[in-house]
Homo-oligomer: A and B are copies of this chain.
Amino acid sequence: MNGAQALIRTLTGGGVDICFANPGTSEMHFVAALDAVPRMRGVLTLFEGVATGAADGYARMAGRPAATLLHLGPGLGNGLANLHNARRAGVPVVNVVGDHATFHKQYDAPLESDIDAIAGAVSGWVRRSTSAADVGPDAAAAIAAASGPPGQVATLILPADVSWSERDAAPGECPEPPHPLGRGTLDADTLEAAAKALGSGEPCLVLVGGEATREPGLVAAARIAAATGAKLLAETFPTRFERGAGVPAVDRLGYLADMAIHQLSGIKHLVLAGARPPVTFFGYPNKPSDLVPEGCQVYPVAAREGAALAALEALADLVAPGTEAPLAPAARPALPTGPLTVETAAAVVGALLPEGAIVVDEAITSGLGLPGATAGAPRHDWLTLTGGSIGYGLPAATGAAVACPDRPVWCLQADGSAMYTISALWTHAREGLDITTVIYNNSAYAILRMELMQVGASESGERARALFDLGGPRLDFVQIASGMGVPAVRASTAEELADALRRAQAEPGPHLIEAIVPSLVP
């Protein structure tokens, strides 16, 4: 057994049996070891950002980490943006980065770079294995560190000769997996203060995030809201948001600062369960970054990760004994007709979203109608761009589909952000994943048109606006997807979109629908 085999055996022993890989020379022994340890499934991606985004999507749905396999510092760099999203989402990832052989590093060969520094920016845990004997224990420690709680990116740097050496290589012993919903301890004083505030008759808001955007947390929070009259919101970009008919219907805090300020306006008591104190996404001239209204008292009953569900259930026992959570009734919009718009496209999705769907949402401005249109659809999971780093949707859909092969994945994806990691489509085809991708093609970085107004850059003109224009030339996603092996069609009307979605559902495997929509922002 060599170091690479010890690594893979440790990973599979610890429940990590998927590796999203984009290997290079320094990772060859890891790749070779795949044949020695058939329990590990290697999923090839054509770009490291697809591998890391897939690991994020996988972890959100599987509740346990996948491994990545990246090539040296540049490969890690390519994977950084989606590792950032995973870090912000608090999901576990065992991020394996190959490095030059230990004896080779001194020569500063062309691909030498400071892997540790780059890894540190996105990882909660970084270790460099220095011998084959260390690899097993190091991999076990990586799994434990990744799994948390809170979940985090654990980066294991693996020099090539540590991989190929056979000296004392052996699998490491893996710890028990952590309780999936954390086991942080509760602070009785904060809970009591929150309970008192909720009973005060003053305007209260319960903001849920992290694990509390899954059904049990939402049920507890909805009971609290129903019993006390408090408002209930979920954080802006939940890691995994359970919703649809039979689940409490919970709105999200707005992305736009003005919307969020409006939602929080007048609140005197803010209860945070698994959510952080709300702040704007960006800093703007003449707008506050801190969204907590002046004079509002904050009650952090549970940190972002850890005990949010337990805290909400304890709070519900205090303030809502006997109160049932109101649940969203089954309700779908009627199928619209006529030209596609952001609104009609959302209604079509709401009318047809299948039971048990996993929705990966990177639709950005074209997705503004989706939450309302799908609130009463059959129950589903909604994954969002938690870290704000675009190029997340197609890769995350890859990982979600690998984690849940029996559930349909709908990837609702804006055009501009799709292009960052477009090669994920090839992996959709390669693995025959049941992913239906809708690309909202509005030929613009429409969100930037909106942000340009938000930051008050009023001196801008045509040359500035040209940098948000994706229309010259217009991207043809039907051709792009076909070129990567994903069957694709174009839809310009609501009827065409509905037909295309029905056909995609009827046939297993990946499909892409290019939905031509006008930009929401002129």
* Contact between A459 and B283, CB atoms less than 8 A apart: no
Copies of this protein in the assembly total 2
Interface with B: A28-36, A55-63, A195-203, A328-336, which one? A28-36
* Contact between B77 and A84, CB atoms less than 8 A apart: yes
Set of chain B residues within 8 Å of A479, measured between Cβ atoms: 479-480, 482-483
* Contact between A472 and B80, CB atoms less than 8 A apart: no
Residue of B nearest to A385 (CB): B110
Is the C-beta of A111 less than 8 angstroms from some C-beta in chain B?
Answer: yes
Residue of B nearest to A161 (CB): B283
* Contact between A121 and B73, CB atoms less than 8 A apart: yes
* Contact between B475 and A483, CB atoms less than 8 A apart: yes
Is the C-beta of A260 less than 8 angstroms from some C-beta in chain B?
Answer: no
Set of chain B residues within 8 Å of A448, measured between Cβ atoms: 23-25, 28, 31
Q: How far is the CA of A419 from the CA of B50 in the complex (A)?
A: 12
* Contact between B282 and A100, CB atoms less than 8 A apart: yes
* Contact between A388 and B110, CB atoms less than 8 A apart: yes
**Chain A residues with a Cβ closer than 8 Å to the other chain, count:** 103
* Contact between A464 and B34, CB atoms less than 8 A apart: yes
Q: How far is the CA of A49 from the CA of B75 in the complex (A)?
A: 12
* Contact between B476 and A482, CB atoms less than 8 A apart: yes
Q: Mark A4-15, 1 if CB is under 8 A from B, else 0.
A: 000000000000
Q: How far is the CA of A316 from the CA of B26 in the complex (A)?
A: 41
Closest chain-B Cβ to A464's Cβ sits at a distance in Å of 5
Within 8 A of B (CB), among A108-161: 108-111, 113-114, 117-118, 120-122, 160-161
Q: Mark A450-469, 1 if CB is under 8 A from B, else 0.
A: 01101111111111101101
Closest chain-B Cβ to A139's Cβ sits at a distance in Å of 19
* Contact between B120 and A452, CB atoms less than 8 A apart: no
* Contact between B25 and A455, CB atoms less than 8 A apart: yes
Q: A77-B80, A117-B121 are in contact. Are A280 and B109 (CB under 8 A)?
A: yes
Is the C-beta of A478 less than 8 angstroms from some C-beta in chain B?
Answer: yes
* Contact between A109 and B279, CB atoms less than 8 A apart: yes
Which residue in B23, B117, B279, B285 is a CB contact (below 8 Å) of A120? B117
Residue of B nearest to A386 (CB): B110
Is the C-beta of A241 less than 8 angstroms from some C-beta in chain B?
Answer: no
Which residue in B423, B429, B454 is a CB contact (below 8 Å) of A422? B423
Interface with B: A39-47, A366-374, A393-401, which one? A39-47
Is the C-beta of A430 less than 8 angstroms from some C-beta in chain B?
Answer: yes
Set of chain B residues within 8 Å of A88, measured between Cβ atoms: 110
Is the C-beta of A365 less than 8 angstroms from some C-beta in chain B?
Answer: no
Q: Mark A405-419, 1 if CB is under 8 A from B, else 0.
A: 000000000001001
Q: How far is the CA of A24 from the CA of B450 in the complex (A)?
A: 11
Set of chain B residues within 8 Å of A117, measured between Cβ atoms: 117-118, 120-121
Q: How far is the CA of A160 from the CA of B289 in the complex (A)?
A: 13
* Contact between A77 and B77, CB atoms less than 8 A apart: yes
Q: Mark A78-112, 1 if CB is under 8 A from B, else 0.
A: 11110010001000000000001101100111110
Set of chain B residues within 8 Å of A35, measured between Cβ atoms: 459-464
Is the C-beta of A299 less than 8 angstroms from some C-beta in chain B?
Answer: no
* Contact between B419 and A459, CB atoms less than 8 A apart: no
Is the C-beta of A440 less than 8 angstroms from some C-beta in chain B?
Answer: no
Is the C-beta of A473 less than 8 angstroms from some C-beta in chain B?
Answer: yes
Residue of B nearest to A77 (CB): B80
* Contact between A457 and B32, CB atoms less than 8 A apart: yes
Residue of B nearest to A2 (CB): B459
Q: How far is the CA of A46 from the CA of B101 in the complex (A)?
A: 35
Residue of B nearest to A99 (CB): B283
Set of chain B residues within 8 Å of A78, measured between Cβ atoms: 49, 77-78, 80-81, 391, 420
Closest chain-B Cβ to A249's Cβ sits at a distance in Å of 24
Is the C-beta of A321 less than 8 angstroms from some C-beta in chain B?
Answer: no
* Contact between B36 and A467, CB atoms less than 8 A apart: no
Q: How far is the CA of A457 from the CA of B31 in the complex (A)?
A: 9
Closest chain-B Cβ to A468's Cβ sits at a distance in Å of 8
* Contact between B464 and A101, CB atoms less than 8 A apart: no
- Contact sample, A vs B, 10 pairs, CB 8 Å cutoff: A25-B451, A29-B455, A31-B460, A78-B81, A80-B80, A103-B283, A103-B289, A109-B282, A110-B388, A111-B388
Closest 9 CB pairs of A and B: A77-B80, A473-B485, A104-B283, A101-B283, A479-B483, A32-B460, A32-B457, A480-B483, A35-B461
List 19 additional A-B contacts (Cβ < 8 Å) besides A38-B463, A479-B482. A21-B467, A25-B282, A25-B455, A31-B467, A77-B121, A84-B113, A104-B280, A107-B289, A107-B290, A108-B276, A109-B289, A111-B281, A114-B121, A117-B120, A160-B283, A160-B455, A161-B285, A164-B285, A476-B485
